[in-house]
């Protein structure tokens, strides 16, 4: 569906007009400021019950929890009650073999096609290799800061000095200073790797299409998703102020990434960018959960994905939308008739399987 009134010239790119890009998410709703702060999605007209109002073809980045890395398909997130998937993409590092798994050859091939040059796989494998290398070291207990805001500033300034020393350090010495990371940091790092890869792949793409998100090809949708991702608010600082130990965890993550990622992604590694990427996940990620036949059973947390175009749906205890995962797609459907101007909300507690 064309939208010439939104973008009148093909010479303009939506990279430079993020607010314009937001209005191209759907012909059924607009993204506007809410009366209680922030942005939300509002129906442009009456929407009948059972209408699919938005579909995200894939996350801008995702991460599988390490305990489930052999049981969750890296492409479609399929999980079959703990079954280990046999189809893999692997990389050998000396005597060490690192792999990610897929439920079918089709999922493996789709992942490989989207990865293209193999840069995403390479970096995921480097994370796995260095995670295992770091386990050989003693874990360092973070200290409790006395003046947190001053500590935040000083500790990140120290990272800058640390990076300067790296420039003259031999590769063999770099491996010896690789920080040990825990499983929660491993989960976060793999998410950051996916975001960095999206920036590498789509960051230089000029989006000129005046069509709505749902009417364009998957590749163009991914370009849009990166622009939406860049408009998301980072809550990294607020989270650190609430949980001070995260300051040292995020610095740990940063150093691990700097010492790990391949040359193609290194240009995107700087403290401001990584802190923003982490901060955008904190309030915008959708959990990936196992399916259960009995509602009394506990779901397993398998990982999470960030779907930027879906991040503008706010929470309501009485939602008028339901979210559903179909493979790695996320679908939003109305639960009842929606009035024109009504805000479209989901229940954040309704974890999708």
| Tokens representing residue 86 in the block | 């046999």
Report the predicted TM-score, pTM, of the whole model to 2 decimal places. Answer: 0.90
**How would residue 220 be classed by pLDDT, with cut points 50, 70 and 90?**
confident
Q: Give the residue ranges of DSSP H helices in 97-147.
A: 105-115, 119-134
pLDDT tens column, 19-66? 677 888 999 999 999 998 889 999 999 999 999 999 998 999 999 999
**How would residue 223 be classed by pLDDT, with cut points 50, 70 and 90?**
confident
- Give the pLDDT score at 217: 77
**How would residue 174 be classed by pLDDT, with cut points 50, 70 and 90?**
confident
Q: How far is CA 141 from CA 22, 163, 181, 252, 319, in A?
A: 43, 22, 12, 12, 42
Angle, helix 271-282 to helix 148-166, in steps of 10 degrees? 130
User: Which residue do the tokens 């370009």 mark?
Assistant: 223
**How would residue 206 be classed by pLDDT, with cut points 50, 70 and 90?**
low
Does 293 or 50 have the greater pLDDT score? 50
By DSSP bridging, strand 314-315 and strand 343-346 are parallel
**Cβ pair 287, 351 in contact under 8 A:** yes
What percent of the chain shows pLDDT beyond 90? 69
Domain chopping of the chain, boundaries = 123-287
- Give the pLDDT score at 294: 62
195: closest CA among 284, 133, 128? 284
Reduced to 3 states (helix: H, G, I; strand: E, B; else coil), residue 323 is strand
**Cβ pair 159, 254 in contact under 8 A:** yes
- Give the pLDDT score at 118: 95
Q: Does an H or E element contain 27, and which?
A: none
- Give the pLDDT score at 7: 43
CA distance 208 to 215: 14
Q: Count of CB atoms within 10 A of residue 14's CB?
A: 21
Query: How high does pLDDT run on average in the chain?
Result: 88
């Amino acid at each position: 569906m064309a939208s010439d009134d939104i973008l009148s010239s093909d010479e303009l790119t939506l990279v430079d007009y993020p607010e314009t890009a937001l209005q191209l998410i759907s012909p059924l709703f607009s993204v506007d400021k809410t009366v209680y702060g922030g942005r939300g999605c509002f129906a442009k007209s009456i929407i009948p019950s059972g209408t699919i109002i938005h579909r995200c073809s894939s996350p801008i980045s995702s991460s599988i929890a390490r305990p489930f890395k052999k049981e969750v398909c890296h492409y479609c997130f399929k999980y079959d009650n703990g079954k280990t998937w046999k189809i893999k993409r692997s990389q050998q590092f000396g005597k060490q073999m690192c792999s990610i798994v897929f439920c079918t050859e089709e999922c493996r091939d789709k992942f490989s096609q989207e990865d293209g040059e193999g840069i995403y796989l390479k970096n995921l494998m480097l994370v796995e290799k260095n995670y295992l290398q770091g386990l050989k070291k003693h874990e360092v207990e973070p200290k409790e800061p006395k003046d947190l805001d001053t500590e935040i500033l000083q500790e990140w300034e120290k990272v800058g000095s640390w990076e300067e020393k790296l420039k003259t350090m031999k590769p063999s010495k770099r491996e010896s200073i690789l920080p040990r990371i825990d499983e929660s940091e491993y989960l976060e790092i793999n998410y950051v790797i996916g975001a960095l890869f999206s920036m590498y792949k789509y960051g230089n793409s000029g989006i000129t299409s005046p069509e709505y998100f749902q009417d364009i090809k998957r590749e163009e949708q991914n370009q849009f998703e990166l622009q939406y991702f860049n408009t998301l608010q980072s809550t990294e600082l607020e989270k650190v102020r609430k949980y001070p130990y995260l300051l040292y965890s995020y610095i740990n993550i940063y150093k691990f990434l700097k010492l790990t990622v391949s040359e193609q992604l290194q240009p995107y590694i700087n403290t401001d960018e990584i802190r923003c990427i982490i901060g955008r996940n904190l309030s915008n990620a959708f959990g990936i959960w196992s399916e259960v036949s009995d509602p009394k059973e506990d779901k397993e947390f398998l990982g999470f994905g960030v779907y930027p175009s879906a991040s503008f749906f706010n929470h309501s205890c009485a939602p008028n939308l339901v979210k559903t995962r179909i493979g790695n797609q996320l679908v939003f459907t109305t639960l009842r008739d929606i009035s024109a101007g009504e805000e479209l909300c989901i229940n954040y507690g309704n974890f999708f399987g």
